[in-house]
Amino acid sequence: MNENTYPLAAIGAGQIATSYPYGIETRPYPTQRIEHVTDLASIALATAVPLRALWILPGDPIAQRAKDPAFWAPRERWDIFATGSQGGSRSTARVSYINEHSKKSRSIQIFSEVDSTNRWGLQPNDVRHLAFLVATYERLMGVEVLFSPAQTALAALKNTCDVSTRRSWIFPLAKATITDLPTAPEVAPQHVNPLPISGKFVHVFDGNAAYMRAAKHGFGTGEPVWLASKEEITTRLAVKGIDGLTRVCQGKEYGLWCVTAFKRDADLYDHLPSPWGNRGGNPDQEWFTTPQVTLAYQQGWYIMFHQGYHWPARQQLMMNWVDQMWEARQRVKGSQSEALIKRSFNRAVGMMAHPLHDEQKTVPWYCRRDWAGTIWAQNYLLQCIKIATIEKQHPGYLCVDTDQIAWISDEVDVRNALPGILDRSDQLGGYKHVVTLAGRDAQQVIDMAQAGTSLTPLLTAFLAARRNLSLVEVVD
């Protein structure tokens, strides 16, 4: 990001805190009542060095007034473009003052955390802290903040690709392609072993940035090719004597595939997550991404292909992006800035999956349901492979919930229970130990997991009350 760009600031409690490369300066702002977004813009644009962005302190009276749609209403000689959640309050605006003589304009972006979705998730102590958080976020992301965390992260994705790589995918898919392209299901690792073994302890582990790790996978670029039959997939994707169906099952071809599948052995892998997610049953002419087909192949499913969309060109488009965001998270580990970077990545992937609206005349480059589906499915594949690999040597798998896995064991020390699981605990995709539960607390986790209760809120409650638990502390 260019250090010579105009600064950003935060306003609230009678003060404006402006972030400069050398630090944050605070000063009082004019005491006139702020009734409209243009009142804020006037203050920001009248400073000696015009501001490019102004953030309203959450909970401040200005933020309360910003909940009123009239705060963002049109006004003469001003151009106001305000956005927010669908059906919710406006929370961000680009406001431009238009000089009626020269017709030139000066713009500023206004941010107010009034949206019910809490899109930024910041909880600053005061205006200086808010300015610091936003400035830190921009520095780590390498781009200026845009209208949302998702758009900011997508701008960073473009920024981390060199020109030759960017040229191959910056042009969006054709609108007809996006309309016709099937939607693969969103799969999140959520599964409970129906017949877990008994044991004295439950060890819980959390994966580091699992979806980020999955995004280092190769993605299709350019327009896909429709393969209308099993025969076309077999012949057109064949390479060096290996038929196309096998190459897809081995994960060597990127695409979306319409398949019917059933297990060769009804009891095989029954206690492990299904390759098809939580849908249950056997797929019958349903669409899936390559990673799900690969997982099914590894678990011994019989797979019948009907048709598919295949991308001949494939690149690791997000490698540098993921590395940058992971490194940034490590620099501010445990802080609000790390949480915002994580939120930005997840919402960027979610934005890729958004459907194209009929009224949209242009197709955004990031409108790629296949990319989002592949990230979700690749994470699912990696989690399932990890679980199956550990289970072969150390039976005790209890459940998986998104990034977290729980294991039953008679060993109190996690290193003895699951040797090697902490070897990459500080790396992308590695696992760190969260907690070990014993006695009635361990049994409660087992019972609630089998009842379908998510691990995340359960463990949050456990950790918040750990003094009252029969916990076994393990030094990591």
DSSP string, 21-67: TTEEEEEE---S---SHHHHHHHHHTSSS--SEEEEPTTSHHHHHTT
Q: Which domain holds residue 463?
A: 190-209+380-468
Last residue of one domain, picked from the residues 310, 343, 366: 310
Contact status, residue 202 vs residue 406, Cβ threshold 8 Å = yes
Q: Is 147 domain-assigned? A: no
**pLDDT in the model for residue 63:** 87
**pLDDT in the model for residue 271:** 84
- Number of domain units in the chain: 3
User: Same structural domain for residues 19 and 134?
Assistant: yes
Q: Is 165 domain-assigned? A: no
User: Same structural domain for residues 244 and 201?
Assistant: no
Q: Is 413 domain-assigned? A: yes
User: Which residues are paired to 168 by β-bridges?
Assistant: none
Burial status of residue 392 (CB atoms within 10 A of its CB: 0-12, 13-18, 19 or more): exposed
**Cα–Cα distance measured from residue 228 to residue 209, given in angstroms and rounded to the nearest whole number:** 37
Q: Is 396 domain-assigned? A: yes
**pLDDT in the model for residue 46:** 79
**pLDDT in the model for residue 419:** 92
Contact status, residue 131 vs residue 8, Cβ threshold 8 Å = yes
Q: Is 63 domain-assigned? A: yes
pLDDT in 10s for each residue of the chain, 476 residues: 555 578 899 999 889 999 988 899 999 887 667 888 888 888 888 777 788 899 999 888 888 888 888 888 888 888 888 876 544 556 677 787 665 544 556 788 888 875 445 678 888 999 999 999 999 999 999 999 988 899 999 999 988 887 665 555 556 788 888 888 888 777 777 888 888 888 899 999 988 999 999 999 888 888 899 999 999 999 999 999 999 999 999 999 999 999 999 887 766 677 888 888 877 678 999 999 999 999 999 988 999 999 999 999 888 889 999 999 999 999 999 899 999 999 999 999 999 988 776 666 777 888 888 999 999 999 999 999 999 999 989 999 998 887 888 999 999 999 999 999 999 989 999 999 988 989 888 888 788 777 776 666 666 666 555 534 443 333 22
Q: Is 323 domain-assigned? A: no
User: Same structural domain for residues 110 and 199?
Assistant: no
User: Same structural domain for residues 42 and 122?
Assistant: yes
User: Same structural domain for residues 242 and 195?
Assistant: no
Last residue of one domain, picked from the residues 289, 310, 331: 310
**pLDDT in the model for residue 4:** 52
Q: Is 353 domain-assigned? A: no
Last residue of one domain, picked from the residues 255, 284, 310: 310
Where would I find the H helices in 57-168? 61-65, 127-141, 149-160, 163-167
User: Same structural domain for residues 25 and 110?
Assistant: yes
**pLDDT in the model for residue 465:** 55
pTM (two decimals): 0.86
**pLDDT in the model for residue 86:** 47
Q: Is 162 domain-assigned? A: no
Strands (E), 65-200: 78-84, 90-98, 105-112, 190-192
Return the closest-CA partner of residue 401 out of 202, 243, 266: 202
